[in-house]
Amino acid sequence: MKGRCPAEGKWHALVDGEVPAARAAVLHRHAARCTACGRYLAELRSLGRMLEVCPDVPVPPRLTASLLALADRAPGGRPGPAVGQWLVVASLATTLFAVRALVPLPVGTTGGWDRALPAAFEALLTLGRTGRLVTEALSAGRQPLEWAALTASVGLVMLARRLAEMWGRFPRGEER
Amino acid sequence: MTDPLRSRFEAAVHEHQQAVFNLARRMTGSDHAAEEIAQEAFLRLWRAMGRGVEPGPATRAYLYRTAMNLGRDRGRRARCELAGGCAAAPHPPEEPEAKMLRRELEWKVREAVLALPTAYRRVVVLRHYHGLTYEEIGAILRWPVSLVRNRLFRARRRLRQLLHGVWKEAGES
Ligand SMILES: [Zn+2]
């Protein structure tokens, strides 16, 4: 192909039917008088024909039967066992954290509540955030297991950090 | 009495099972993996329908995308397990030569498609075996049309290299 010849991509678009009729006519005229482009176009077409030697195979009847049987399961219900399990783990961990935020109040003081309540509130926010991330991941069509594992891990790391902070922040009763 | 949700799901199975199964088969090179992928893709569709997020007119795109994603990592795990029409299966002794040659060509082409990097294989399968336009492919793979065009171009260049010998033979015969 020479400098004046259409770019290779144009020929691909032509064989794929992605070129408007007027432009296609111009390309065809060029291919008719340019040996190099004519050969390239012929090769592209022959590649397409070669790929066609592998035809579709019929669906095994047992597959059709098992696909139709999927409708015997409860529709919706849960997004999938893996995601479901991870969500339960994440929710449980967050709830435990919320409880933990309230329980180890310094004995005989009331000052702990003003710190424990915001901490519990933050725990609920974490739960909400995790839930939102998982919902987004599902609606984006990502691999749910990957996303759930990722979000749950992030959630757990955040929880662990908060627990560690709180452990240091709230003086234990027996130490007083 | 017929459950309308179930009816719509069954219609989707009948309409798309052939395409989804063959798409997965071409992506993985395995009948067994293709069956598993089709199962999982339709299960996800059924669950989505149950949650009220039915893809509707985008059902085909939803199933293709799901099958592509599920097939991503299985591509080269089970090469040439293919039963139907694969020349790796022994030829019956009385098979005519023409038929034998065709089976061999079929096997070489299938091997070449399986040898492509996943992204290239995706565009080749969707364009050549499912007849989708650049725009439809872009919608399924969530790629801009320019990327579809570029990858298809590169994929064909790679295929021409991979099939060079076959090409010569086919051209001479
Ligand atoms: Zn030219």
Amino acid symbol at B168 = K
Q: What number is the average pLDDT over the span A98-120?
A: 58
pLDDT band at A4 (very low <50, low <70, confident <90, very high): confident
A25-34 LR contacts (CB < 8 Å, sep 24+): A30/A5, A30/A6, A34/A1, A34/A2, A34/A5
Mean pLDDT of chain B: 86
Is B28 strand, coil or helix? Answer: helix
pLDDT band at B111 (very low <50, low <70, confident <90, very high): very high
Distances (CA, A) of A123 to A93, A97, A112, A127, B6: 10, 7, 16, 6, 40
Q: What is the pLDDT of residue A163?
A: 76
Q: How many domains does chain A have?
A: 2
Q: Is residue A87 domain-shared with residue A141, that is, in the same domain?
A: yes
- The nearest alpha carbon in chain A to B127 belongs to A16
> For testing the chain A interface, which of B28, B40, B46 should be mutated: the one with the most A CBs within 10 Å?
B46
How large is the ipTM?
0.83
Using the Cβ of A140 and the Cβ atoms of chain B, whether some distance falls under 8 Å is answered with no
Q: Kindly report, residue by residue over A35-68, the tens digit of the pLDDT.
A: 999 999 999 999 999 999 888 999 999 999 999 9
Q: Is residue A40 domain-shared with residue A93, that is, in the same domain?
A: no
In this prediction the pTM is 0.67
SS3 of chain A: the string is CCCCCCCHHHHHHHHCCCCCHHHHHHHHHHHHHCHHHHHHHHHHHHHHHHHCCCCCCCCCHHHHHHHHHHHHCCCCCCCCHHHHHHHHHHHHHHHHHHHHHHCCCCCCCCCCHHHHHHHHHHHHHHHHHHHHHHHHHHHCCCCHHHHHHHHHHHHHHHHHHHHHHHHHHCCCHHHC
Which of A58-67, A111-120, A165-174, B163-172 holds the top average pLDDT? A58-67
Q: What is the pLDDT of residue B55?
A: 80
pLDDT over 80 at A81, yes or no: no
Q: Kindly report, residue by residue over B58-86, the tens digit of the pLDDT.
A: 899 999 999 999 987 665 554 544 434 44
Q: Which of B10, B133, B156 sits opposite A47 (nearest CB)?
A: B156
Domain holding A94, by residue range, is 81-175
In a domain, A43, yes or no: yes
Q: What number is the average pLDDT over the span B25-53?
A: 93
Q: What is the pLDDT of residue A3?
A: 62
Using the Cβ of A135 and the Cβ atoms of chain B, whether some distance falls under 8 Å is answered with no
Q: Which domains does chain B have, with CATH numbers?
A: 3-77 (1.10.1740), 96-172 (1.10.10.10)
* CA Rg value for chain B: 18
Residues in chain B within 8 Å Cβ distance of A17: 133
In a domain, A87, yes or no: yes
